[in-house]
Structure 1
C-alpha cells in the first residue's frame, strides 16, 4: 500500500520554434504511466501525469542517449536500465521541445510521525504543467513585492529626503551667514592701528585663532591615510555594485552580488592607494612602505580574520556554511595579484601627482594650548553625536537589508538602496562639517580624527540596532547561529564605519580649507 507524503509541481515554459522539425507531431496520452524504480535501495514511485505533446527524436539523438545510458550504467551497475532509459528519454524530449523548468513547488501531505526501527516507503507524485510565464520572469515568484514596496518604505525615503533638505539648508544658512561676517571682518583694511589692536583683542576668537595649528599633521597619520583611502574605495565600490545590480539584476544569480563585490573591490584598489598616498604626502609623511602595505592590507585582513574565525566554527559544527578551501585560494589569488599591486601603484601615483602640500595657512612651530570647554564640545561627545542623524536616514532601510540577509528574503529594490546611499553620504558630510565647525570654534584644532570618528560612529548605532534585531526579529539561538550573525554584522559595520568616516573626513577637509582660504594668515 503506497502512501503519498509529498507533492512536487513543476511549471514548464514552452518556446515556439521556426524550425519545422521542432513542430509538435505526435500526441501521446500518458495519463497513468507508473514506473517502479530502484536507486541505492530507495524505492520511488514516479508518476507522469498528462504529458500531452512530444516531438520526434532523430536516430542520432537516440544513439547519443543510449551511449550516455551505457556510460552511467558502467559507473553504477545498480541503476536499472528502465529508470535510466525513461529519465534520459524524458530529459531529451524536454530539450527537443525547448522546454525549461521555471518553477518548482513542493508541498507536504499526510505527515506521519517517525517510529524508530521502522522502514519508511517514500513516494513522490510529479505533475508537469505548461505556463505562460517567460523564462526571464521566472524569478518573480520569489520576490516579495508587498514587503519591499510597502508604504513605509516609500515614507522612509521621503522622510530621509526631507531631512537632507532641512539639514543642508540649516548648515548653509548658519555657516555661510557666520563665515560671511568673518570674511568681511578679515577683508576690511583698517588703517587705524588702535582699531586693529582692539579688533584683535575683542573680536578674534573661535576658529580664527587656530589658523596656525589647524593644518598640523594629526597623530597616527599612516593609519588615518590608510582608512581614508580604504573608505574612498569602499564608497566607489558600493556605488558601482548598486548600479550594476540595478542594470544587471544580480539578485537572480546565486552569489552574483558577492562575486561582483570581490571583483570590483580588486579593480578599485587603485583608488584606495591614490587617496591614501596623496593625503600622506601632503602631510609630510616619510614612511612610504608602511603606508602602502597598510592601505592594501587593512580592510582585507580584518575581513579575513573575522571570516577565518567563522569558518573554523562552521567546520567544527560540520555546517555547509563553511567556505570551501578552493574559494579561499581564489579570493587570496585575486587579492595578491590584482588588488595588492593596484593599491601599491595607486599610492605611488597619488604621492607624485597629488602629494604637494597646499595648506592655506602656515603651521606654527609651537602648538597652541587647547582651552577647556563645555563637555558637549569635547571630541568624544562630538564623535558619538555625529552618527545619530546619518543612522536615522538609513534606519528603515537597515530593517529591509537585515530581513533580506537573515530572514531569507530576496532583496531586489536596489533603486531604493541607491537613494538611501546618496542620502547617507549627504547627511554624513553635513553633520561632520557642523561638528568640525563647533570643534574649531572651541579652539580645538584636532579635527581630523574627530571628523572621521564623528561619521564612523554611524556604524556603532547600526551594530546596536543589529543587537535589537537579533533578539526581537529573529529566532536564532545557539553559539553557531549567534556567532555567524554577529560576526558577519561586525564585518559589515567595519566597512560601513570606514566608508562613512572617510566621507566625513574628506568633506570636513574641503570645508576647513575653504574657510581658511580667505583669511589673512601670518
Structure 2
C-alpha cells in the first residue's frame, strides 16, 4: 500500500499547483461598462453595517441622512430613492440598493455641491450617536464598485482599500474623559479612471478602476457660501457634533459653558428641539493607468501577499497531518488487516479439515451435538441461528478467530433509528454537492465580488438542484437498512433538514424584524424560498428517491446477518461515543484551523471584505476530506477490533466530530476577538454559527459514514472470498 500513499501525496501537490494558479484566474464580470466624456454616472447607496453588531440598515432608512428627492437624474432610468432589482443572494445578505441624488459626470470635477440640510430631533440624534459609537460604515456603489476608504501600508510601499466609509467618529475630551460624537457630513468623492480597452477606448471611452470616498465633519459655525457649501472645506475648526443642549434656562445658568454634556437621562427628549445637519459633497476625477480594469478589485484584498504566505503554511500543516494519517491507514490495510485475513484463512482451512475428519469417523463415534458447526462453513451458515452456538474447545481452536472477524454476523445489522440516519446522509450529500460546486466555480473566478450576491444565489441554486442526489442516496441507504416505505423516507428527506433550517431562519427573522434591520428577510423573499423548497427541491428529491429505491436498490452486503445479536463486551474509554468523537474531530479541525482564521475574519470582523483565496480553500478542503476519511477508517477499525458492531451512527458522528471543535472555536472567537453588543446581535452570531457548524457537520459526517461503509464492506468481502 506504500505506492498508493505516495501517489496520493503527489495528486494533492498537483491539485495544489493547479488551484493556486486558478486563484489568480479572475473573471471580473459579465461586461465592461465604459463612459464617454460628459456622460452621467449613477451613484447608488446600499446599506450601513458594523463589525460590532450583526444588524444592518438600509442607508435611506436612517433619519439623519439626506432623504431621496424622488427626481430623475441623467444617466439613470430610476428615480432617486427607487430600489433596483436584486437577486436572491443580495436580499439574503441584507443589500438594499437604491438610486441617490448625487450627480457624477465623467471627467467633470465639482468643487462642492450642496446636498441637503437634514432636520433631526433628539431621538434621531440618539440613534446617530449609537451608530457612530458602534462604528457603522456606509456603502455606496459606482459602476459596481463599493466606495472605499484608502490606506497605505506602514512602509508606504503599497496602497489598499477598505470598503465603506465611517458615518462619524468619537472624540474623547482631555481631562474630563467624556466622549463626544461627530457626524461626517461632507463627502469627497474620487473617481479613478483610465482608457477603456478595445474599440471603446479608441472612441474615447473611459472605464472606472477606483471609487474612493473621503469624509469630513463640518460644523454649523463654518463659513458657508450662498449655495450652502462650506467656503473652505480644508480648514475646519469646529466639526458637526451630535449634540443638542437642553432648552431649560436652569441649565444655561448652572452650566454657562457648553463643555458639559449632561447624560441622556437628564435631557428632555420630547421638548421639540431640533438640529440642522448640512450635507455636501465634492467630486474629483483622476486618471490612473497603473490599475487594470480586470484587477480593480485587488486593492480591496487587504495584505494579499502576506496572507498568501500564511495560506501556504496552512496547506503544509494540512499535508503533514494528512500524510501521517495516510501512513497509519496504509499500515492498517497493508499489515494488520492482511494479517488478520491470513490468520482467518489458516483457521478456516484447519476447521474444514477437522470437519472432514468428523465426517469419516467410524460407526459408534459421537455425532455432533445440536448447535455445533464447523468453522469452515461459518460464513455459509451465519444466517442460520440454529447452528450459531459455540464450538467446544477440544474440537475447534477458536482463539485464532478474534476481533473484527467475530462480527461477520452482526456488522451489517441495521442501526437503531436508521430511518433518520438515511435522510441525514442524503442531506449531507446535498450539501457536499453544493460545497464542491461553489468551490470549483469560485476557484475558476466565475464567482467573484463583481457579481454581488452571486455566491449565495448560486449556492442556493446548487442546493435545490442537489435534491436529486439527496433523494438518491437517502433512498439507497434506507433500503439497505431494510426500509420499505420509500415515499415516507422521501418526505422525511425533503423536509427534515431544510424544514429545520427554514424554521430557525424564520424565528431569527422575527427578532431582526423588531429592529427594523435590512438583515430581516422581506415577506416576499420568504414566500419565494418556500416555493423553491416545496415545488422544486421536493419534486427533485422525489425523483432521486424513486430512482434509488426502485431502479438501483440497496447495496449488497458480503455477509449475512444473524437473527440474534451477539453480546457486546465492555469498551475502553477512548472508543466510547463522546470521547472518540471529540478525539477524532480534533485532527480534521487542526487541518482547517489556519484557513478558518481567514474565513472568520471575512465573515465576522470585516463584513465589507471579500474572501478571495478560494484556490487555497479548495486545496485545504480536499485535504480535509481525505483526513476525515482516514480518521474514520482508523476509529471504526479500532471499534470493530473491540468487538463492537454499532458503527453506523458512530461513523457519522466521527466524520462530523470536527464541527464540535469549530463551534467551540466560535465561542472562543466571540469572547476574545469580537466586540458584538446587544442581545439580538449575540443571538444572531451564535445562531448563525450553530447553523453553519450543523451544515458542516452534516457534510463531513456523510463523508465519514460512506467511507466507513466502503471500508467495512471491503474487509468483510475479503474474508468471504476465502
> How far is 1:150 from its partner?
4.3
Question: Does residue 450 of structure 1 match 2:650?
Answer: yes
The aligned runs of 1:423-442 (5 Å cut-off) are 423-442=623-642
The alpha-carbon distance between structure 1 residues 411 and 88, as it changes in their structure 2 partners (threshold 3 A), is: closer
Distance (Å, rounded) in 1 between the aligned partners of 2:73 and 2:275 = 39
The aligned runs of 1:305-344 (5 Å cut-off) are 305-344=503-542
> How far is 1:123 from its partner?
2.6
| TM-score between both structures, scaled by the size of structure 1 | 0.80
Contact 2:494 2:538 in 1 (8 A): yes
Distance (Å, rounded) in 2 between the aligned partners of 1:263 and 1:179 = 43
**Which residue does the alignment assign to 2:241?**
113
Distance (Å, rounded) in 2 between the aligned partners of 1:502 and 1:453 = 9
**Which residue does the alignment assign to 1:220?**
417
> How far is 1:373 from its partner?
2.5
Q: Deviations over 1:134-182 (max 9, x none)?
A: 4332222211243772433211111101211111111111343111112
**Which residue does the alignment assign to 1:81?**
none
The alpha-carbon distance between structure 1 residues 97 and 65, as it changes in their structure 2 partners (threshold 3 A), is: farther
**Which residue does the alignment assign to 2:354?**
193
Question: Does residue 366 of structure 1 match 2:564?
Answer: yes
> How far is 1:72 from its partner?
7.1
The aligned runs of 1:257-296 (5 Å cut-off) are 257-296=455-494
Answer with 512-521 or 161-170: which moved more. 512-521
The secondary structure found in structure 1 opposite 2:282 is: strand
**Which residue does the alignment assign to 2:620?**
420
The alpha-carbon distance between structure 1 residues 364 and 124, as it changes in their structure 2 partners (threshold 3 A), is: same
The secondary structure found in structure 2 opposite 1:123 is: strand
The aligned runs of 1:379-390 (5 Å cut-off) are 379-390=577-588
2:403 to 202, 206, 219: 206
Distance (Å, rounded) in 2 between the aligned partners of 1:317 and 1:500 = 35
Distance (Å, rounded) in 2 between the aligned partners of 1:129 and 1:357 = 67
Contact 1:233 1:271 in 2 (8 A): yes
Contact 1:148 1:413 in 2 (8 A): no
Contact 2:475 2:489 in 1 (8 A): yes
> How far is 1:98 from its partner?
3.5
CA RMSD of aligned residues (A): 3.5
The secondary structure found in structure 2 opposite 1:514 is: helix
The alpha-carbon distance between structure 1 residues 499 and 72, as it changes in their structure 2 partners (threshold 3 A), is: closer
The alpha-carbon distance between structure 1 residues 254 and 411, as it changes in their structure 2 partners (threshold 3 A), is: same
The alpha-carbon distance between structure 1 residues 112 and 282, as it changes in their structure 2 partners (threshold 3 A), is: same
Q: Deviations over 1:344-378 (max 9, x none)?
A: 11011011233245111110011111011222222
Contact 2:422 2:474 in 1 (8 A): yes
Question: Does residue 241 of structure 1 match 2:442?
Answer: no
Name the one with the larger helix percent: 1
> How far is 1:423 from its partner?
1.0
Distance (Å, rounded) in 1 between the aligned partners of 2:436 and 2:642 = 36
Distance (Å, rounded) in 1 between the aligned partners of 2:527 and 2:661 = 34
The secondary structure found in structure 2 opposite 1:124 is: strand
Distance (Å, rounded) in 1 between the aligned partners of 2:73 and 2:659 = 58
Distance (Å, rounded) in 1 between the aligned partners of 2:278 and 2:74 = 31
Aligned residue pairs, count: 461
Question: Does residue 104 of structure 1 match 2:262?
Answer: no
Contact 1:452 1:501 in 2 (8 A): yes
1:127 to 269, 284, 296: 284
The alpha-carbon distance between structure 1 residues 465 and 103, as it changes in their structure 2 partners (threshold 3 A), is: same
Name the one with the larger strand percent: 2
Question: Does residue 182 of structure 1 match 2:336?
Answer: no
> How far is 1:202 from its partner?
1.2
Distance (Å, rounded) in 1 between the aligned partners of 2:33 and 2:706 = 54
**Which residue does the alignment assign to 1:492?**
692
Answer with 175-184 or 429-438: which moved more. 175-184
Contact 2:428 2:700 in 1 (8 A): yes
1:164 to 322, 337, 345: 322
**Which residue does the alignment assign to 1:511?**
711
> How far is 1:334 from its partner?
1.7
2:672 to 472, 489, 499: 472
The secondary structure found in structure 1 opposite 2:657 is: helix
Distance (Å, rounded) in 2 between the aligned partners of 1:258 and 1:493 = 17
Distance (Å, rounded) in 1 between the aligned partners of 2:65 and 2:563 = 85
Distance (Å, rounded) in 1 between the aligned partners of 2:315 and 2:102 = 55
Distance (Å, rounded) in 2 between the aligned partners of 1:343 and 1:511 = 27
Answer with 306-315 or 112-121: which moved more. 112-121
The alpha-carbon distance between structure 1 residues 477 and 118, as it changes in their structure 2 partners (threshold 3 A), is: closer
Contact 2:107 2:285 in 1 (8 A): no
Contact 1:43 1:123 in 2 (8 A): no
Distance (Å, rounded) in 2 between the aligned partners of 1:281 and 1:378 = 28
> How far is 1:200 from its partner?
4.0
Distance (Å, rounded) in 1 between the aligned partners of 2:471 and 2:328 = 35
**Which residue does the alignment assign to 1:232?**
429
The secondary structure found in structure 2 opposite 1:122 is: strand
Contact 1:215 1:363 in 2 (8 A): yes
Answer with 114-123 or 150-159: which moved more. 114-123
The secondary structure found in structure 1 opposite 2:211 is: strand
Question: Does residue 252 of structure 1 match 2:450?
Answer: yes
1:149 to 295, 307, 313: 307
Distance (Å, rounded) in 2 between the aligned partners of 1:91 and 1:225 = 63
Distance (Å, rounded) in 1 between the aligned partners of 2:460 and 2:681 = 25
Distance (Å, rounded) in 2 between the aligned partners of 1:264 and 1:492 = 17
Answer with 238-247 or 286-295: which moved more. 286-295
Distance (Å, rounded) in 2 between the aligned partners of 1:515 and 1:480 = 52
Distance (Å, rounded) in 1 between the aligned partners of 2:614 and 2:544 = 30
Answer with 159-168 or 332-341: which moved more. 332-341
> How far is 1:380 from its partner?
3.1
Distance (Å, rounded) in 2 between the aligned partners of 1:65 and 1:123 = 17
Distance (Å, rounded) in 2 between the aligned partners of 1:148 and 1:422 = 23
